[in-house]
Amino acid sequence: MSALRTVLNELVGLFVDDGSLALTLLLWTILMGLAVALFTPAPGVMAALLVVGYLAALLVNVWRAGRP
Amino acid sequence: MSWTQTAPTMAAAFLASLVECVEALTIVLAVGTVRGWRSAFAGTGAAAVALLAVVLVLGPTLSRIPVQGLQLVVGLLLLLFGMRWLRKAILRAAGVVALHDEEAVFRSEAANLRLAAVTARHGVDPIATVTAFKAVLLEGVEVVFIVLALGAAPGLLWPAAAGAGAAALLVVLVGLIVHRPLAQVPENTLKFAVGVLIAAFGVFWTGEGLGIAWPGHDLAIPVLAVLLLAAGLAGVRLAAAGRAAAAAGSAAS
């Protein structure tokens, strides 16, 4: 069982180092998915919003990490 | 499959695999130097066979999954994987987190192996073999994920596998010649680049999976890479500034 737990921890660790960044990225993805389903914006607007959201999440996260 | 997807796929797979193979080589070198090369090669070979089996089984299986669902799931995994690498590379470049030191890892692993009792049978030391097996398997799982994820689109599995294979071959050849941990490899720079590339693929495929139309289609990938690179460099400045402000604040108090 502990070997299985170790393997699972390793697998999760491939994708999640800082839980808050991973959660923010996933939440932004869900929001954008809802927006795409509900609205029909001009081409490129949703793409730009998706990218801006991800970049903002990264920048806020590293800024906060520099100030423990 | 256009070169705008094949070339970045091969490059990302090559660079990411290069980093993982260098880390695995450090452990294998420690095992071989301290406990014998037969054990080191036995463990490495067993792990390589296990990883190859995973690729051969999962690779074709992925092509049977509906494309849009696959793009979203693989895109999200690539996004999380790439952002994790990029975040860590940013913090290392900013001095918030210590740089990875292959020489230190080698010394630590070699010291641990010297302490463990030698129980060799037929010239193969089980502890050494398992140590090499675990190291190659753990680092190899990341390579396999990168190959499968980047190669999930039709026609990209072989370019991704070729990139990873080339990196593994290069590291093995250099390791055989140098016989030392490859501490001179600019690991953090490589991880920064890999984080940017993998995250760019992740953003692109997540968007495709959500039904978002990318201007220029495949040409959006290099544009995303440039934007992530710019954000990464800005992130280094932000993290360093935050660290300096925190240090100044504690010095004042």
Q: How confident is the model at residue A3 (pLDDT cuts 50, 70, 90)?
A: low
Q: What are phi and psi of A39, to 5 degrees?
A: -115, 165
The number of residues in chain A equals 68
Half-sphere exposure of B23 (CA within 13 A, CB side): 21
Question: pLDDT at position B182, please?
Answer: 67
Long-range contacts of B225-230 (CB under 8 A, 24+ apart): B225/B8, B225/B196, B225/B197, B225/B200, B227/A51, B227/A55, B228/A55, B228/B86, B228/B195, B228/B196, B228/B199, B228/B200, B228/B203, B229/B196
Check: CB of residue B199 under 8 Å from CB of residue B228.
Answer: yes
Spans of chain B, pLDDT less than 70: 1, 63, 116-123, 180-184, 253
Q: Pick from B77, B138, B212: which is nearest to A50 by CB?
A: B212
Tell me the mean pLDDT in the region A8-26.
80
Q: How confident is the model at residue A29 (pLDDT cuts 50, 70, 90)?
A: very high
Which chain A residues are closer than 8 Å to B76 by Cβ? 25-26, 29
Q: Look up the pTM and report it.
A: 0.82
B229: closest CA of chain A, how far (Å) = 10
Q: What is the pLDDT of residues B85-106, one digit of tens each?
A: 999 999 999 988 887 777 777 7
Q: Which two tokens stand for residue B143?
A: 């390579």
Is the interface score ipTM higher than 0.95? no
* B124 strand-pairing partners: B121
Residue predicted with more confidence, A29 or B142: A29
d(CA A25, CA A56): 10
Question: pLDDT at position B234, please?
Answer: 95
Q: Cα separations (Å) of B36 from B109, B125, B164, B234? A: 14, 8, 27, 46
Question: pLDDT at position B66, please?
Answer: 75
CB within 8 Å of B137: residues ≥ 6 apart: B47, B50, B51
B142: closest CA of chain A, how far (Å) = 7
Q: Which two tokens stand for residue B209?
A: 């999976």
Q: Which two tokens stand for residue B58?
A: 């999962």
d(CA A32, CA B210): 8
Residue predicted with more confidence, A21 or B251: A21
Nearest CA in chain B to A10: B138
A63: closest CA of chain B, how far (Å) = 5
Query: A interface toward B at CB cutoff 8 Å?
Result: 10-11, 14-18, 21-22, 25-26, 29, 32-33, 36, 43-44, 46-47, 50-51, 54-55, 58-59, 61-68
Question: pLDDT at position A67, please?
Answer: 80
Check: CB of residue B253 under 8 Å from CB of residue B233.
Answer: no
A62: closest CA of chain B, how far (Å) = 6
Mutation for testing the B interface, residue in A40, A62, A64 having most B CBs under 10 Å? A62
- Report CB contact under 8 Å: A17, B87: yes
- Report CB contact under 8 Å: B245, A33: no
